[in-house]
Amino acid sequence: MTHPLFSVLSPVLEQPEGVRQVFFAGTQHPVPGLAYQVDFPRLELVLEGEQMMEWENEQGVSQVICMQAGDALFVPAKGWNSPQWQAPVRTLSLLFGKQQLGFSLLGWDGKQFGSREKGNTGRRGPRIGAFMLQALNELAWHRTDQMTAQFLVKGLLSHALDLFSSSAHTASRSQALFGAIRQHIEEHFREPLTRDSVAKAFYISPNYLSHLFQKTGGIGLNEYLNYVRLEQAKNLLKGYDMKVKEVAHACGYIDSNYFCRQFKKSTERSPSEYRRQYRSQFESLEP
């Protein structure tokens, strides 16, 4: 799985002049109404088009600059900026929280936002990227050193792309593993499956198995296993003249009374009532 930032940032990182100019916002107060301000450092990058952007200069005086494609604005923690949406533009915002790295892609066609995409991922360790952010904070006092500023911004963009790409790869592997476990359950539901036995079959811990089902599937392992068994029970009740106890055992339930309770909880009918109602409806459709 390729993260959407890959196609956005690759040209910026590969081209020598991918980052054209780096601006620095101040941290003075008061903050104008509708301005963006957060407690963490941010990086604003114009990808296409141009955008009028307001922020404070080193003297604490508000200024408006027309940022072009490739221009970046570094906003320190508690700093502010105020974008003006006039001409068509596409922008990227990166927010460097203590534990999370967030991104927001915006597209403005001159009249309305045509595209919005955002996401976040965990930051690997407190030091990763922190030194580059600290260097940009210090460079705000020497804003004429554009070569170093461009180097640092490219480093942060590369770091962000690495984090999000790793996150996407991990998500893809989790989805594949979840799908394989679901298939395993659907093929072996007649057996006495447990959390430990399923985890052992895939060489993972029982706790990780439970976490995977809740995070990726939004459902508990036992809840999903019960769902698969009950769906098969419905098919057997509708298509075969098996006793309820036989249906229960065929679907992996050792205790037929427990099966009946679970079935009624799911369908609000006992297995026998479900079969009678289905056959009554089926016969009423016959010519």
Give mean pLDDT, residues 167-186.
80
DSSP per-residue codes, 174-238: HHHHHHHHHHHHHHHTTS---HHHHHHHTT--HHHHHHHIIIIISS-HHHHHHHHHHHHHHHHHH
pLDDT of res. 37:
87
Residue 141 has what pLDDT?
A: 77
Mean pLDDT of 276-281: 82
Q: What is the model's pLDDT at position 207?
A: 92
Least confident of 77-91, 121-135, 237-251: 121-135
Position 11 pLDDT exceeds 80: yes
| pLDDT of residue 185 exceeding 90 | yes
In this prediction, residue 218 carries a pLDDT of 85
**What's the pLDDT at 44?**
95
Looking at this protein, which amino acid is placed at residue 275? Answer: R
Q: Is the pLDDT of residue 1 over 60?
A: no
The per-residue pLDDT for range 233-277, each reduced to its tens digit, is 999 998 888 999 999 999 999 999 999 999 999 999 999 999 988
Write down the pTM of the prediction: 0.61
Class of domain 192-287: mainly alpha
Residue 176 is predicted with a pLDDT of 80
Quote the pLDDT of residue 257: 95
Lowest mean pLDDT among 26-35, 56-65, 124-133, 190-199: 124-133
Structure tokens at 181: 């476990």
Instruction: Return all residues near 22 (Cβ < 8 A) that are at least 6 apart.
Output: 71, 72, 73, 74, 146, 149, 150, 152, 153
pLDDT given at position 121: 80
- pLDDT averaged over the chain? 87
Residues of CATH 1.10.10.60 domain(s) within the chain? 192-287
Lowest mean pLDDT across 38-47, 108-117, 162-171, 204-213: 162-171
The percent of residues in the chain predicted with pLDDT above 90, rounded, is 48
